[in-house]
Amino acid sequence: MTSLPTVTGDKRLGLVIDLDTCVGCHACATNCKEWNTSGHSAPLTDVNAYQAEQRGVWFNRVFTYEVGGQGPSARTVHFPKNCLHCEKPDCVTVCPTGASYKRAEDGIVLIDHDKCIGCKLCSWACPYGAREYDEDVGVMKKCTLCIDKIYNKNLPEGDRVPACVATCPSKARHFGDFADPDSKVSQLVRERGGFDLMPETGYRPTSKYLPPRPGNGANGAPKKLEPAPDLAGAGKFLRWVDRVLSR
């Protein structure tokens, strides 16, 4: 089985995803597919792309839910899902070949496709459904945080962000270093009550979600925004997502 790094670097790179501002446009999924199908994890296979029963490899997927029943509390919530680059990822430690590994220098979880035998143990160990099996190539694939983009010195510094972040029209996705308390992602987590998805697993995801803000009250006055330090305080919708992903 594969071991996690015993010594870590100065960076913990990851994403903050704002469930309040995501509009469910799927731009993140589309641009991720476009970049990565010719990048580090290429190709991202599609089967029956223009026919019925289409399937393939997607590192970003967006789910949409109607929550709150009927009336003033009802709302639509869009829930993007991708690898969270956990601090304690069992998807790495179950790997029998060392193909799945966590980088010491920045905490990014990757797969060495030359070592992967397609056993799918990592996908069974991931409670977030972030591992994708490429049936054409016979190996597992996953989000890389676009390492071939964020470390590409041929790009302007402002463009060195994951494809999903660069393309998001509502600025619902943010990229940065969680090891830096003054980074934008760290500040957002503190100010908006950013939380771990399914903290009971003990995986300690690096990437965080920001909860939807409360809507207006019955009299039209905005409800006071309460911080959500854990999943229990994130509302019925997020607890429901937790149950679905735990199945």
pLDDT of 40 reads: 86
Query: Helices H, strands E: what count in the chain?
Result: 7, 11
Say if residue 49 is exposed, middle or buried (CB neighbours under 10 Å; 0-12, 13-18, 19+): exposed
pLDDT of residue 226: 47
Query: Quick one: which of 18, 23, 16 has its CA closest to 75?
Result: 23
CA distances from 60 to 82, 97, 144, 174 (A): 5, 26, 11, 14
pLDDT at 244: 56
pTM for the structure as a whole: 0.84
CATH topology of domain 13-245: Alpha-Beta Plaits (3.30.70)
Domain boundaries, the chain: 13-245
For residue 213, the model assigns a pLDDT of: 83
Are the beta carbons of 57 and 45 closer than 8 angstroms?
A: yes
In tens digits, the chain (247 residues) has pLDDT values of 689 988 889 999 999 999 999 999 999 999 999 999 988 888 999 988 888 888 999 999 999 999 888 888 888 999 999 999 999 999 999 999 999 999 999 999 999 999 999 999 999 999 999 999 999 999 999 999 999 999 999 999 999 999 999 999 999 999 999 999 999 999 999 999 999 999 999 999 999 999 998 765 444 444 554 444 444 445 666 666 666 555 5
Residue with tokens 């590192």: 59
Q: For residue 116, what are its two tokens?
A: 């992967």
What is the distance, to the nearest Å, from the Cα of residue 137 to the centroid of all Cα atoms in its chain? Answer: 23
